[in-house]
Structure 1
C-alpha cells in the first residue's frame, strides 16, 4: 500500500478530535432535555439559566415579587408561633419547619440574583462538555484512539444517567410534599364547606400555618382569604422551587466534575502503555496536566457558588430534621396527616442534605485516586522531562477537591453523620423541653 504522507496523518488526527466533538454535540441535545424541567423551575422563581443575561434581567422582577410576598408570609408564621407558645410544641412545630425553609429560600433567591450568570456558564459547560471539546490528546500521534473515545463516551453517558436519576427523585420528593400541603388544605376546606351550612361554623385553613390579625375579622370575606392564600402560596412556591433549583444545579455541576475526574484517571492509565508512542509521552502528560488544571478551575467556580450559601442551608437542614424526628417521636400516633407529612418532608429534606454530602464525598474520593493512578504508571522508565512533569502533577493532584460548607466543614459523609447525630441530640433536648 502507498505510504501515508504527513498531511494525511494530520488529517486523520484532526478527524478523531472532530469525531469526539460530534459525539459531544449530539449528547448535548440529550443533556438539554434532561435539564429542561430544571430550567423551567428556575425561571418560575426568577432565576434565569436558560440564556445568558445581565444583572438587570426582567425575570428578576418575579423573584423580587416572590421575596416581598414571602417576607409578609414569614411574619405571619412567626406571629402564629408567638400566639401559640403557651400550647404544646406539636401545635406549631410545622410552622417552625416551614418558616425556616422560607427563610433559607429567600436567601437563595438573593444569592441567585447576583450569581445566575455564573450558574448559567457552569451548566452550559456541563451540558455541552466544553472542557472535552477539541480534545488535544486525540490530536497526538497515539494508538487505539477509538477505545479512548469510547471510554470517554461511556463515562459521560453514565454521569448523565446518574444526574437524571437524582434530579427525578428529588423532583418527586419536593413535589410530593408541596402537593400534600396544597392537597390537604383544599380537601379540608372543601369538606368543611360541604358539611357546614355557614362559613361562621369553621375556619378556612392555608397550606402553611399562619396568622393575619389585620384580616382576622374578615377572613372569610372576599377577597381577603384569597390575598392571604396568595401570600402563603408564595412561601410554599419558593420553599419548594428554590430547593430544587439550588440542589439540582449542584447535582448537574458536581456530577459533571466527577465524570471529568474519572476521565482524567482513565487517561493517565494510558500514558506509559503501548498506546502512547515514546516520543509522544511528554506531550501526552503535558496535555493531561492542562486538562487537570481546567477541571480544577471548573471545580473552584462551583465551590465559590456554594461556599457561603451552603452553611445556613446545612444548619437549617439540621434543625428541620431535628423537628421532624421530634414530631415522629411525640405525635406519630396522634394523626395520620402528621405521619404522611413527616414522611414526605423527611424524604425531601433528608435527600437534599444527603445528596450534597454524598456527591461531595464522591468528588473528594475520586480526586484522591488521581495521584495513586499517576504513581502506578511506569513513569520511572521515562526520560527526565516526563519524570519532572509527573512529580509536579503528583503535587498538584494532591490539592484537595472538597466542596466547602462555609469555613466550618466540607460536604462529606462525615459531615452528614455529624448532622444526623446533632439532630438526634437536639431532638432529645426538645422532648425534655416539651415535657
Structure 2
C-alpha cells in the first residue's frame, strides 16, 4: 500500500501565538513579578516548544521550563533538555534566550569531555551565535537552569507564580505563588492564531466523522466504526489519545441514561438502520483540541417524535448561538436552551430532563480558570466554548448536538460548517 499524505499537514507554528498582552496584564493585576511555566501545555503555549520526545512524559514531569518577568517582557528564557535543543531550529520561537541543561543521555561511567553539548548539535551549527550562547549557559540540571534564569531576570527575591509548586520547592525563592489557574485564565481568551488552529482541528474532526459514516454498511459494528474513526482522523493528520477519540456512549435500547463510553471491546453492538448514533469525538491537531459532533440517523431520516426532537435540538442550539455573548453565564445559556426546547414542542418534563452543558476548548477540554467542578462561569469575548445538547431517549429517538463557538459581542461564531440538524443516512448538510 502506498504511503498516505495527510490532508491536514503539520507546519511550523508562528514564533508567538500566545496572548502576551493578557499575560502581562494578568501578572500585574495579580501582583506577580513573573511566572515560571513547567507543565507541558503551558510551556508550549508560551514558547511553541513541543518536540515529540516531550510528549512521552507526563505534563507534570516535563523536559522544559519558561521563565518570564513582567519587568523585562522582551527577555524571557526557556530551559530545554540538551537533546531537544535543535527542535527550536525548526520551530521558531519569540524567546531568543534558549538554554540547555544536562540529562541522563550524558554518560556516567566515563568523562563527558570538554564539549558535551556538541554531541547533540550538528557540526554545521556549532559556530553559530545561537549555539555559542547556549553552550555558555549549559546548566547541570533543569533545576539549576531555572534557578539561574530567575537570578538573571531579578526574580529570586520577587513574587513569582509557578504552575507547578513542586518545582518551586526545589528553588531558592523569596515568594512562590500557585499560578496554575493564572495561566489557565490567560489561555481562556484565544489569539487569532489559536482560533485558526482550533477551526482547522474542527474541520478535521468533521471530515473524519463524515468519512467514517460513509463506510457503514449493514452488519457494521460500533467497535468497527470507532476504529474507523480513529484511523481516519489519524490519516487526515490529527492525533487521537489512547484509548480513543469517541467519548459518549451509545447504549442500545430504550434506557435514556447519559454516560461516557468505555472504549472496551465488551461495549459493542451491530449498528442497525434507524439507530441514532451520537458522535462526540476528541483529538488534537498541532496540539489544539477538537471536540464535538452530532446525531447520525443510520441509513434513514428522523421520523415521528425523533424528527420533532431533532428540530427542537437544532432550534435550541440556534438560540444558544445567539446568546453566546460576553458576560452571559452558563445558567442563562441553559435557560435559553431549555426555553427553545419547550417552544420546539418538548414537554416541560422532557425539556427539564435535557442535558445542556458547556466547557472551554483550546489546549485541553477546559482551558478556563475554574475553581469548582460545578461553577456557573461567565463567557468572555474571545473564549472558545464547546456547547452540548442531549435529549434523552432510546436509540431510535435521542438527540445529540455539540457545536464549537467563538464568543463574540454579536453571538457565537460556529466552527462546524454543517447545520444543526441530524445527519440523515449519509446526507451531510
Tell me whether the two structures share a fold, i.e. TM-score over 0.5: no
Q: Which has the larger radius of gyration?
A: 1
Q: Which structure has more RCO (C-alpha within 8 Å, separation ≥ 6)?
A: 1
Q: Which has the higher helix share?
A: 1
Q: TM-score, normalised by structure 1?
A: 0.23
Q: Which has the higher strand share?
A: 2
